[in-house]
Amino acid sequence: MKKLNIIESFAQKQMGSANLEIESRGLFKSFLSKWLQVVAMTRFPVGSKFRCAIERLRGVKIGKHVFLGGGNILDRARPDLIIIEDFVSIAGGVYILTHSNPTTPLREILGPTSHKVAPVVIKRGAWIAVNVVILPGVTIGENSIIATGSVVMKDVPPMTIVGGVPAKEIKKITPYNKP
């Protein structure tokens, strides 16, 4: 037990002012998850199925027929809080964050609510474009589209296109009526 405390102490010092999430995930699982993340986020020409398999090993819940582009970062501390349903497409360079942890001085100023840990859910058929950031606690509705470069800070209703910083509704999606 004492040896583990020394390792935990060393690991925390490497984190700077951020908190090491040992209690919720375990030290070994946390480090393994970070190494797997490096493999999964590669921009090398590996298939989406390979990326999905690696992210599943890290704890991300991923449905069927999901596309994951290269260079994505799915939360490094709590990937187990990410749920990606069937037929979702996530382009490259997307950040999905399930935790927010300000610096020590800001935690003292802002209090305990400044540290946020909340799941991110991406519902069936959603399309996340290139270089999007999704913050903790957000649910992306079914068949919604998130425009390139958006920062999603709040829930997106189903069948909605959002974009911008912060992301705002651009328009509702209306189903195509075949002639």
Q: Which residue has the higher pLDDT, 21 or 88?
A: 88
C-beta atoms surrounding 39 within 10 Å: 15
Q: In order of start, what are the domains of the chain with their CATH numbers?
A: 2-9+24-169 (2.160.10.10)
Asked if the model's pLDDT at residue 27 lies above 90, the reply is no
The end-to-end CA distance of the chain, in Å, is 70
DSSP-based three-state secondary structure for 73: strand
Nearest to 171 by CA among 160, 179, 163: 160
Query: Which pLDDT score is estimated for 106?
Result: 87
Please state the rounded mean pLDDT for residues 72-92: 94
Query: Which pLDDT score is estimated for 12?
Result: 58
Query: Which pLDDT score is estimated for 85?
Result: 98
Query: Which pLDDT score is estimated for 41?
Result: 58
Asked if the model's pLDDT at residue 6 lies above 70, the reply is no
- pTM, entire model: 0.77
- Cβ atoms of residues 160 and 148 within 8 Å: no
Q: What is the pLDDT of residues 88-126, one digit of tens each?
A: 999 999 999 999 888 888 888 988 888 889 999 999 999
CA–CA separation, 162 and 39 (whole Å):
30
Query: Which pLDDT score is estimated for 22?
Result: 47
**DSSP string for 46-62:** --HHHHHHHHHHHT-EE
